[in-house]
Amino acid sequence: MDRPQRPSQFGPYLLLYPLGTGGMGQVFLARQRAELGIQRLVAVKRFLVHLPRDRKLVDLFLDVVRIAAQLSHGNIVQVIDHGVIDGQYFMAMEYVHGENLMEVLSRLTERGHRLPLDLALHIASGICAGLDY
């Protein structure tokens, strides 16, 4: 994904660069600035601006935010903030540094390799634990 030339301010978040885009939103790595100079990295998901302001799409995005904000599990990122900034719906989540699993699997496939079974089972187990919660 292309990184912007300059970070941009979005409320209390400095959007550093995009991490990915889905059907309803774009996720950015951002720096959150708080009182007393405290900062942390977060992931900010913003409702896509180019989508029509269809009430059903907005409601769906807000449902995702409501549900995610209620979850507390080690295998599910925490929602730390949500709302509307400059007319744009968003949610801020904890940022978990690491590789995107789809990208890792794609690189392995390109090289003619597979994920070792024990690692695949460990990952699948973690996914299932989060889903079961």
Residue 14 is predicted with a pLDDT of: 95
Q: How far is CA 11 from CA 33, 46, 50, 62, 66, in A?
A: 10, 12, 20, 19, 20
If you count them, how many residues does the chain have? 133
The ranges of the chain with pLDDT < 70 are 1-5, 49-53
Q: How far is CA 81 from CA 42, 91, 120, 132, in A?
A: 10, 6, 32, 24
- Residue in this structure with the two tokens 């979005």, named with its chain if needed: 10
Residue 73 is predicted with a pLDDT of: 93
Residue 127 is predicted with a pLDDT of: 94
pTM, full prediction: 0.81
Classify residue 117 as left (phi > 0), alpha (psi -120 to 50) or beta: alpha
